Amino acid sequence: MKKFNIYTQNNPGLEFHKDDRGTIADVFFNTQIHHVAVVNSKANSLRGNHYHKHSTQHMLMTKGRMEYWYKPVGSSEPSQMVMVNVGDVISTPPNEIHALRYLDDEESEFIVFSEGPRGGPDYESDTFRVDSIFDGK
């Protein structure tokens, strides 16, 4: 798991520009992205409880907030959680179980950028479901 915020100016390799018109914040540079999707979730929804053997996913939170639960495949250690807020990018490498819990009273949204098989007819080809890892399980 890797986390950074696109609105802070301390992201190595990424540019951030601000003037009286607003801001331009790089999300990625020199990254091989194979699929992009927008994911909307209702308040208190749960997603995930799966991992990918070959794909890396980068989720840019654009609305609301979520808990991101994660742990390595095969680990007997409890899962860990980080809070993801607007502007945060959370990256999920291969073989990391991840689960998402949305907290706000209204819809949350993120854009997911995937490296590897994930979109179109490949949507489920690299998805491996597991029992719930929420709350450290």
In a domain? residue 134: no
Let me know if residue 55 belongs to a domain: yes
Residue 17 belongs to a domain: no
Give the C-alpha distances (Å, rounded to integers) separating 64 from 16, 52, 79, 114, 124: 22, 25, 23, 21, 26
The pLDDT tens digits for 7-57 are 776 677 788 888 899 888 888 888 888 889 999 999 989 999 999 999 999
CA dist., res. 13 & res. 28, Å (int): 9
Residue 90 within a domain: yes
Q: Which two tokens stand for residue 15?
A: 């540019």
Structure token digits, residue 64: 């609301």
| CA-based end-to-end distance of the chain | 17
Domain count across the chain? 1
On the question of pLDDT at 102 being above 70, the answer is yes
Q: Alpha-carbon distance 55 to 18, whole Å?
A: 33
Round to whole Å and give the CA distance between 124 and 121: 8
Domain that holds residue 42: 1-8+35-97+105-111
User: Are the C-beta atoms of residues 88 and 40 closer than 8 Å to each other?
Assistant: no
Residue 28 in any domain: the answer is no
By CB atoms closer than 10 A (0-12, 13-18, 19+), residue 42 is exposed
Residue range 74-95, pLDDT digits in tens = 999 999 999 999 999 999 999 9
| Mean pLDDT score of the chain | 89
In this structure, is residue 58 part of a structural domain? yes
